[in-house]
């Protein structure tokens, strides 16, 4: 019981949190509610017009019959009397034929206004729903950009995509249920109930006996649906993850002949999702038939009881009884819709929890309230007793251990060491992709945590082994992050990166779209585009992380020439496995097991009996 109570409260607060996103659309929501009220009124009027229509068609003395319709007393009866008095005075004067024509015209007008109101209500509600979904999706996407790299290494890409796309769409069903069904359907029920009560309150009470039973079943089904909806959304995230991984690694899949294996893996995930959806469908669709069956039972009782009053007791007119039946059976569709509202809200809150889980993650990298702008890099970068652990715990496994390092402006620092030694982690601390667990990093004597993040990263250019390009033109990839950059500057950067010649050989030159992750280009071409991008940014601090790895000899020469141009007059951090590429570095540090174990120039380190000499000899088979 305790767990059930907690879950209800959690869903309630989650739902309230969704509703906060409605604030920018209160005007459209108010218009939607206004037209919903008009829709309900005209729906009632169109039903009530059945009484005079039937009396006009089937009563010999229709004027006398109509005058008797307004003979009862009471609040609702007074409304009915006023309504029929208006009709009697302005519509039903004249012959049978004249009255019939007027009634038909009134019915056409009532249904026209009803449908116009329904259309406008639906339009403004869609504006609210889709605007809300857009805002949530934008907020999640914006929040993702504030999270550290550590979050993305621990979270599946497919799961994130599923939450932003599929789960946000499911939230929309709850919004629709709340502001469309929870407003329109109760209003329609109230209007039709007023009609029914004004005709015969006893029959109306009998018809309401079904409601408590229906609500009991609906609440039970809603709780089960909430649980199953979350499972279903996780299954969809699994499908998206497998799909994303397979498409990204399609070359490896084909190279190893693993198509059938991947097919079976994907089919297993779709089968799990299929079973989950069937379970949800089974639970969701139980509410409607249960409610309808109970309503039909009540309807049969009403027909028997009301029929006896018409045929034997003569306490109701046939036209009133038929209109009463129409009104009661008009209540059934909105009641059936309301039975699904709870289920849809449960699905929506379940999806919202997965979305809000992302929004509730506090960024590890935060900008200090009094952070200052770094206008230029003047002097040096200093590591003071820096320790770092990815889990952020001081008792965890440290990747970096007591790093003390000073790099002067304009110095080229090479960082070497075995795989897993902490080289990439060390340079990732400079642009604040992560913060030190202990110690601090200073730039010109200022702690990086006291500098505005954007102004810091504006001073840093990065070229990595894994070149990140976008499915856009070469021009836009080189000018990434720069608005309205002249083509002349882009070409100049491309020439310096040894990229201009191959770009001009492409079908559309600088306007060639290079495909996802630049897959239409070779590895060397992608790397030179990346170098051109860094050159165009013209940063004073440069980080090169294995920038020449996995290239053929010709590409490596071209890339190395471009890198040498890029390194001129900059402070450079170079990570390289190929020791031949860093011989001319001003200083080399050797990192092993998170510590700096050697430091010096190439010629000095090669003559020392240490790790650098060992790595050098292994690489050149000495």
DSSP 88-106: HHHTS-S-HHHHHHHHHHH
Report pLDDT for 189.
81
CATH 1.20.1560.10 location in the chain: 24-359
Which tokens sit at 294? Answer: 């109970």
- The neighbour count for residue 170, using CB atoms within 10 Å, is 22
Report pLDDT for 9.
42
Model confidence, pTM: 0.70
The DSSP result for 293-352, as a single string, is HHHHHHHHHHHHHHHHIIIII--S-HHHHHHHHHHHHHHHHHHHHHHHHHHHHHHHHHHH
DSSP state of 399: S
Q: Please answer whether residues 401 and 481 qualify as being in contact, where contact means their C-beta atoms are separated by less than 8 angstroms.
A: no
CATH superfamily assigned to domain 24-359: ABC transporter type 1, transmembrane domain (1.20.1560.10)
Question: Crossing angle for the helix pair 50-58 and 26-48, nearest 10 degrees?
Answer: 20
CATH 3.40.50.300 location in the chain: 380-619
- Buried-exposed string 9-44: b where 16+ CB fall within 10 A, e elsewhere: eebeebbeebeebbeebeebbebbbebbbbbbbbbb
Round to whole Å and give the CA distance between 194 and 324. 10
Torsion over CA: 193, 196, 198, 201 (sign) = negative
CA distances from 14 to 118, 161, 431 (A): 30, 21, 36
Round to whole Å and give the CA distance between 166 and 168. 6
Q: Which residue has the tokens 């079973």?
A: 275
Per-10-residue mean pLDDT for the chain, 622 residues long? 40 80 89 89 76 58 49 53 61 65 79 89 88 88 83 77 82 76 80 77 71 62 65 75 69 65 80 81 69 67 68 62 73 72 77 86 85 90 92 74 92 88 90 90 93 89 79 86 84 86 88 80 83 84 74 67 79 79 83 91 86 80 56
Report pLDDT for 394.
61
CA distances from 453 to 151, 237, 430 (A): 18, 32, 11
- List, in order, residues 6 or more apart from 519 with CB less than 8 Å away: none
Report pLDDT for 6.
36
Q: What is the pLDDT of residues 381-421, one digit of tens each?
A: 999 999 998 876 666 688 999 999 999 998 989 999 888 88
CA distances from 368 to 147, 333, 380, 451, 622 (A): 15, 56, 22, 8, 51
Round to whole Å and give the CA distance between 324 and 311. 15
Report pLDDT for 239.
76
Report pLDDT for 353.
86
Please give the CATH number for the structural domain made up of 380-619: 3.40.50.300
Q: What is the pLDDT of residues 313-329, one digit of tens each?
A: 556 666 677 777 777 77
Report pLDDT for 403.
92
Which tokens sit at 584? Answer: 């001319």
Report pLDDT for 220.
64
Give which of 328, 427, 445 is closest to 382, Cα–Cα: 445
């Amino acid at each position: 019981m305790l767990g059930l109570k907690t879950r209800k409260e959690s869903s309630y607060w989650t739902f309230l949190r969704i509703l906060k996103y409605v604030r920018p659309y209160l005007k459209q929501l108010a218009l939607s509610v206004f037209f919903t009220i008009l829709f309900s009124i005209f729906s009632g009027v169109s039903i009530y017009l059945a009484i005079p229509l039937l009396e006009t068609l089937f009563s010999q003395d229709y004027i006398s019959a109509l005058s008797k319709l307004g003979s009862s007393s009471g609040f609702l009866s007074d409304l009915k009397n006023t309504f029929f008095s208006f009709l009697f005075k302005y519509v039903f004067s004249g012959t049978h034929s004249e009255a019939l024509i007027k009634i038909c015209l009134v019915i056409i007008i009532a249904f026209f206004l009803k449908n116009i109101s329904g259309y406008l209500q639906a339009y403004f509600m869609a504006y609210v729903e889709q605007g809300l979904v857009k805002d949530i999706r934008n907020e999640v996407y914006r929040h993702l950009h504030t999270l550290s790299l550590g979050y993305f290494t621990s979270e599946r890409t497919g799961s994130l995509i599923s939450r932003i796309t599929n789960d946000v769409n499911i939230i929309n069903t709850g919004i629709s249920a709340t502001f469309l069904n929870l407003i329109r359907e109760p209003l329609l029920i109230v209007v039709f109930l007023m009609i029914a009560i004004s005709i015969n309150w006893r029959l109306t009470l009998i018809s309401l006996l079904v409601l408590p039973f229906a609500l009991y079943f609906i609440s039970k089904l809603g709780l089960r649906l909430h649980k199953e909806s979350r499972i279903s959304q996780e299954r969809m995230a699994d499908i998206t993850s497998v799909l994303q991984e397979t498409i990204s690694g399609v070359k490896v899949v084909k190279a190893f002949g693993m198509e059938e294996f991947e097919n079976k893996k994907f089919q297993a995930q779709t089968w799990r999702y299929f079973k989950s959806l069937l379970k949800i469908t089974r639970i969701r669709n139980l509410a409607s038939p249960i409610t309808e069956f109970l309503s039909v039972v009540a309807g049969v009782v009403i027909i028997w009881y009301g029929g006896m009053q018409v045929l034997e007791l003569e306490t109701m007119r046939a036209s009133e009884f038929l209109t009463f039946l129409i009104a009661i059976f008009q209540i059934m569709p909105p009641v059936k819709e309301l039975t699904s509202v709870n289920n849809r809200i449960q699905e929506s809150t379940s999806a919202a929890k997965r979305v809000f889980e992302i929004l509730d993650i506090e960024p590890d990298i935060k900008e200090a309230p009094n952070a200052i702008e770094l206008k230029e890099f003047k002097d040096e970068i200093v590591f003071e007793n820096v320790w770092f652990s990815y889990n952020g715990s001081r008792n965890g496994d440290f990747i970096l251990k007591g790093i003390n390092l000073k790099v002067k402006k304009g110095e080229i620092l090479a960082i070497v060491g075995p795989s897993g030694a902490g080289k990439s982690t060390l340079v990732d601390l400079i642009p604040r992709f992560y913060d030190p667990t202990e110690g601090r990093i200073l730039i010109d004597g200022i702690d990086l945590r006291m500098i505005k993040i954007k102004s810091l990263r504006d001073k840093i250019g990065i070229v990595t082994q894994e070149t990140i390009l976008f499915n856009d033109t070469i021009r836009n990839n080189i000018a990434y992050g720069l608005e309205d950059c002249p083509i002349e500057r882009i070409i100049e950067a491309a020439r310096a990166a040894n990229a201009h010649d191959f770009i001009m050989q492409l079908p559309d030159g600088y306007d060639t779209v290079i495909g996802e992750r630049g897959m239409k280009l070779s590895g060397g071409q992608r790397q030179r585009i990346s170098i051109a991008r860094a050159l165009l940014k013209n940063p004073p601090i440069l980080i090169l992380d294995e920038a020449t790895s996995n290239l053929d000899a010709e590409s490596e020469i071209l890339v190395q020439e471009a890198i040498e141009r890029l390194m001129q007059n900059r402070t450079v951090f170079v990570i390289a496995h190929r020791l031949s590429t860093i011989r001319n570095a001003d200083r080399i540090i050797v990192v092993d097991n998170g510590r700096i174990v050697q430091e010096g120039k190439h010629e000095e380190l090669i003559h020392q009996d240490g790790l650098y000499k060992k790595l050098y000899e292994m690489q050149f088979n000495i």
